[in-house]
A and B are shown apart, each in its own frame.
Chain A
Amino acid sequence: MPDPVLQVTDLVKRFGDFAAVNGVSFEIGKGQILGLLGANGAGKTTVINMMLGLITPSEGRIQVFGKDLAAHRIEILRRMNFCSTYTQLPGNLLVSQNLKVFGLLYRVPDLERRIDEVLELLEISHLKKRVSGHLSAGESTRLNLCKALLNRPELLLLDEPTASLDPDIADKVRKAVKRVREEDGATMLYTSHNMRDVEEVCDQVIFMHKGKILHFGTPAEIVAHFQEKSLEDVFIRVARGGDLETAKLVD
């Protein structure tokens, strides 16, 4: 594997007595896209939030670009970015104003040009002077993604970027994500409920269940391992708890 961009070791997050993330370790090599799968509540978003420093781990270690996240948070955040279904850009600002603010926050050089580039990449150049709050769900997701790409992040965290998108727009988003990886060599962590996304975009996949990693491999390996027909079937089986022997196996 190429040099790991992200290394997570024995990560645990407890909220009170409840362990939302319970001993997770993995790493992502440069230029790789790792899919994080699992039913609602599996702990995917909590993992991502810990990577962003929004939540402090109860135990374990996160290293990004070979540095400890806790000790070098700001320096690391400058080189990464994220896009999540749980956030929006301020609705009363114009698209161009929002991108300008975040471009300055991330100290993006030649900002005006970069704004045009990312809008172009996600095919929303025509929305530049629109009010952000007036965009449709698909448009606003793509705007979030524009914000996430502004600083040419070396590590990009995408939390359900295609949720609530129609198949056409979801396809455009997948293509943009792949292009960014090819052109910038960006490394990504990608969560999704859309198995099509995962099969098309991710090199490796982690299956999470109740805060633990059930299985790790390429999409094809996972399907073979669970002896199912498709990733979707694996997902359903795992979500319904029909995997307990496997869980014990991995433990």
Chain B
Amino acid sequence: MNPHVIQALVLRYLFLYTRTPVRMVELLFWPLVHLLVWGYLTVFLQKNTGDSFPYAITFLIGAVILWDVLFRAQQGVAIFFLEDVWSRNLLNIFAAPVTTFDYLGATYVAGLLRAAVTSTILGVLSVILYSFNVLELRWYLVPFVLNLLVFGWALGMISTALIVRWGPAAETLAWATPFFIQPFAAVFYPVDGLPVVMQAFSKALPCSYIFEGMRDVLKDGDLPMRDLVIASGLNVVYLAAAGVLFVSVLKTARDKGLLTKFAAQ
């Protein structure tokens, strides 16, 4: 990876956001909506269930914030590519001295930036509105966030690969991919709340362990180390597989002239 090239690509991304502040709205709107919905649901449940609820129900708010890390990282990667398609700039980038790794590196940075912006804002708001402080997760927050970022990147690369392969018709995948897995990701409810068949699927997703772990930490202040290890191991596998998929789709795209077709559309 060449840091100058990555810097140039990220600079373009930053220019885009500073030039068109309305994009900030898109960055904040959905996370805010989610925070409000789940936040007030939490408040409501807290008032009406008394002590009968098994553990600190504020985990729903933590779930919203952590889910957003994954979602934004995925989006950063997928939207990065689409921005170039939308602005008819794709060939300028792919015919510049940019390696696939430079390009991916830049998309990771974009994902990281998106995740950092929204989760910071959500974190602050949840303290103000619901007295929920995500820092209650203490040092666990670091491996949680890292794992969610990496899984988000992997999903982002998969979304982009599908868009390259199937063309602009597949654009909605950029937004939809994380939601395909959300029901199985144990974001808002534990894995054993799912039917047994689905649990298998759930256990194959690194993020399930993170969301389970978050609830454990909020409840007991601790979590099984094993889960973190499994999540990280799965993430390495997903990231590598997504990378292989991305590289092979790019090769197909160069064989079939898909990149230049994009430009002509």
Contact = CB atoms under 8 A, between A and B. Distances in A.
Nearest to B12: A101
Contacts of A92: 16, 19-20, 87
Interface in B1-48: 4-5, 7-9, 11-12, 15-16, 19-20
A169 interface: no
A84 B91 CA distance: 9
B255 interface: yes
Contact of B5 (A46, A90, A100, A105): A105
Contacts of B16: 90, 92-93
Given A49-B257, A93-B16, A101-B12, A78 B97 contact: yes
A93 B15 contact: yes
A104 B97 contact: no
A56 B89 contact: no
Nearest to B257: A55
Contacts of A147: 92
A88 interface: yes
A49 B259 CA distance: 10
B39 to A, nearest CB: 34
Interface string B228-265: 00000000000000000000000100111101100110
A87 B92 contact: yes
A232 B89 CA distance: 33
Contacts of B84: 90
Contacts of A104: 4-5, 7-8, 11
A54 B11 contact: no
Contacts of A77: 95-97
B97 A100 contact: no
Given A49-B260, A107-B4, A101 B95 contact: no
B238 to A, nearest CB: 27
B186 to A, nearest CB: 39
- Which of B20, B95, B254 is packed against the most chain A CB atoms within 10 Å? B95
Contacts of A54: 91, 94-95, 254, 257, 259-260
Nearest to B7: A104
A87 B93 CA distance: 10
A108 B33 CA distance: 44
Contact of A56 (B9, B20, B88, B255): B255
B12 A91 contact: no
Contacts of A55: 254-255, 257, 259-260
B128 to A, nearest CB: 33
Contacts of A46: 257
Contacts of A100: 11
Given A87-B263, A104-B4, A53 B254 contact: yes
Interface of B: 4-5, 7-9, 11-12, 15-16, 19-20, 83-84, 87-99, 251, 254-257, 259-260, 263-264
9 contacts: A45-B260, A55-B257, A77-B96, A77-B97, A84-B91, A88-B89, A92-B87, A104-B4, A107-B4
Interface of A: 13, 15, 45-46, 49, 52-56, 74-75, 77-78, 82, 84, 86-94, 97, 100-102, 104-107, 131, 147
Given A89-B87, A94-B15, A101-B15, 4 more contacts: A88-B88, A92-B20, A105-B9, A131-B19
